[in-house]
Chain A
């Protein structure tokens, strides 16, 4: 009987075991795929790996635009238990209008929409408060937000992004594909409490490429500060500044005013002009700055040279039914160099007529006018250069002095670089690096012979020297050259020129080996105070003075040492001394026992010969009984001892002359 019972027991055990075995087979083999999918769906969560948008740096590595993580809130209106309560709750936490939110939620609910953005880019506190609610119909998504830490600085260069972080202006728009990252995805294995156990990368995140611009943040700031001050001071409509390396084409600063803050979305009623990059998008008649092109073409295509005499008459000329005046008065017959220095319209016309229509058009195009420079910014204007077939008889004289043509500030900078770098047309560069890869520069194209470029530089120096129209652009410690421009603005409705001006200045420094080119344009100035020499040249002076100092460009002229010269062997000492000056404290590094203190001469003082011709120097020295040792030819550049210092018995003054 016992055996029988055992047999039954064993039979039941076998059946039981077999049932379990078959269930296991069913689970693990027959329905394996089905259950594996169910398990995966519950345990594995797809997690997005964020790929932040690339940072934009200036040339010194300072971030100009970068993205930081933030969060956005969405809800499932179909799962919200009570829309009225839900809207009240969300409005309270997210500081929203309850009625408007309820309306949106109701609409989404009635239209069976299971997704509704409630608020994008919320703050940390708001996100934490929402999480503490623990409501399953509220979703918090990771996003990122673009920040421009310098506010308005370089706004027109950087541009801005929309809510989805897509570039909609500036570099952000042009290089959007490279700046935007590709988010990756990871599969996260979670436990019952949704804690991550393991993760596997399904697709790698590809962060956006960092972009390094050629812009120098410090220089950009100075350019923006000065152009803003000038526009306000001269009641101009707008203004722009471009500072460029003439050899590489690197844009060191590109400022446009009025400006805007790219951190803020466009506001209703906002002035659209503030978002316009006036340096590249707004062409204008250049006026007298264009005489640089006319004279360059003349040096290349005619037998004219700086000493060639040009008859400028009595300040008035009538050609093809149009009477053209000088800005001030007649100059008579003057050398071609003086035509540029005095900015004689009639002289430029005479020279332009010698150049001829075909050559003029050819050189205008060779200098890059009438075509886009290729700078990677949206909305660049090519300007307007009509083909010779469409020129009237008055077009050549007009173009010779910068009328009947429209250019951008950037094109002028590119043209100025031709003169500054020895005759090569370089393409303006704005992007220095993409990631760690340096963006190669386009090969330059020769436009002028080197000797022509050097001659033009010497003539352009006359513009900033005494007697020229751009003396306010003259720099301390550096030689410089340039050209002023004051173009009357043409009213297309009334079809005549108004009394509003485009005041501009185009220049470079130092003269012998230009380190940078700068073009300043003020649009819509009024009266003579709005002329280029009075309105734009001081901006050039202010910007270049700081730019040359910041970029450590060696001086090529001695300084007029001010009272309280500091002697410093270290940067720290210099900084300390500078701080003391402002407080009116005595200079701790100054040697108070020195009898030859600048500003306290014991005997006769050395006159300032700089900028004078050799004849004038010798005449003045003879009149004062001083002995001068001249060296070189041209204009006095360097002198030793310095002007204002005390003379000793029998001491001679060494004066260096250069063109």
Chain B
């Protein structure tokens, strides 16, 4: 399996022979090579004990700038994306409501037909006959609000 270092090394060996003419000295920090692999690990100890951490005001500012920029970017992205997402969700809801509205209108029309059938004169007459109801005979109903002393009764 060829790894990237092996790949570069082969290219160097094939394409730039002048650079690879002298045999390099062994690197003292190089660890033992892995068998059947062109992978080399190096180990080097670094003494950082004398290093002193020094405050860098510019780095701090850059950090805050980066945080601020990320925040702004987040707000911008959110402000761009949220309406779209909300619009899509609202679209789902709106469409569902439209379907429901149509179903309800259809149902109302069906109920109107049923109501009209129930109120049909033929059915009402059958019901009236079942209850022994009759139309008022002429003069059978006398209205008290009839004016004058006439004996003529208004029959509705």
Task: State whether these chains interact.
Answer: yes
- With a cutoff of 8 Å between Cβ atoms, the chain A residues found around residue B96 in the complex are 196
- With a cutoff of 8 Å between Cβ atoms, the chain A residues found around residue B92 in the complex are 195-197
Restricting to A570-602, which residues have a CB under 8 Å from any CB of B?
571, 574, 577-579, 581-583
Contact B95 A583 (CB under 8 A): no
A578 contact from B12, B106, B113, B134, Cβ within 8 A? B134
Bound-state CA distance A558–B152 (Å) is 5
Bound-state CA distance A83–B8 (Å) is 67
Contact A638 B152 (CB under 8 A): yes
State the Cβ distance, A473 to closest chain B Cβ, in Å.
Answer: 15
State the Cβ distance, B103 to closest chain A Cβ, in Å.
Answer: 9
Inter-chain residue pair count (beta carbon < 8 A)? 147
Contact B144 A566 (CB under 8 A): no
Interface size on A, residues (CB 8 A): 59
A69 contact from B8, B106, B120, Cβ within 8 A? B106
Q: Tell me if A189 counts as interface (CB < 8 A to partner B).
A: yes
Q: Tell me if B98 counts as interface (CB < 8 A to partner A).
A: yes
Interface size on B, residues (CB 8 A): 46
Given A1-B8, A561-B153, A578-B133, A151–B138 Cβ distance below 8 Å? no
B141 contact from A149, A199, A566, Cβ within 8 A? A566
- With a cutoff of 8 Å between Cβ atoms, the chain A residues found around residue B142 in the complex are 561, 565-568
Given A196-B95, A218-B121, A578-B133, A561–B109 Cβ distance below 8 Å? no
Bound-state CA distance A559–B141 (Å) is 10
- With a cutoff of 8 Å between Cβ atoms, the chain A residues found around residue B145 in the complex are 569
- With a cutoff of 8 Å between Cβ atoms, the chain B residues found around residue A546 in the complex are 135
Restricting to B97-156, which residues have a CB under 8 Å from any CB of A?
98-99, 106, 109-110, 112-114, 116-117, 119-122, 125, 131-145, 150-156
State the Cβ distance, A219 to closest chain B Cβ, in Å.
Answer: 9
Contact A579 B113 (CB under 8 A): no
Smallest CB gap from B134: residue in A: A582
Given A1-B8, A52-B109, A68-B113, A197–B95 Cβ distance below 8 Å? yes
Given A196-B95, A562-B140, A640–B150 Cβ distance below 8 Å? yes
Q: Tell me if B65 counts as interface (CB < 8 A to partner A).
A: no
State the Cβ distance, B97 to closest chain A Cβ, in Å.
Answer: 10
Contact B106 A150 (CB under 8 A): no
Contact B132 A149 (CB under 8 A): no
- With a cutoff of 8 Å between Cβ atoms, the chain A residues found around residue B155 in the complex are 477, 549, 555, 559
- With a cutoff of 8 Å between Cβ atoms, the chain A residues found around residue B94 in the complex are 198
Q: Tell me if A109 counts as interface (CB < 8 A to partner B).
A: no
- With a cutoff of 8 Å between Cβ atoms, the chain A residues found around residue B132 in the complex are 579, 582-583
Q: Tell me if A147 counts as interface (CB < 8 A to partner B).
A: yes
A68 contact from B109, B120, B135, Cβ within 8 A? B109
Contact A561 B116 (CB under 8 A): no
State the Cβ distance, B100 to closest chain A Cβ, in Å.
Answer: 12
State the Cβ distance, A154 to closest chain B Cβ, in Å.
Answer: 11
Q: What are 30 A-B contacts defined by CB distance under 8 Å?
A: A63-B112, A66-B109, A66-B112, A68-B106, A150-B116, A153-B121, A197-B91, A217-B121, A221-B121, A477-B155, A546-B135, A552-B156, A555-B154, A558-B150, A559-B139, A559-B153, A561-B140, A562-B140, A565-B141, A565-B142, A565-B153, A568-B144, A569-B144, A578-B135, A578-B136, A578-B140, A579-B131, A582-B134, A638-B152, A640-B150
Identify 4 new A-B residue pairs, CB closer than 8 A, beyond the known A218-B121, A549-B155.
A149-B120, A196-B96, A558-B151, A560-B139
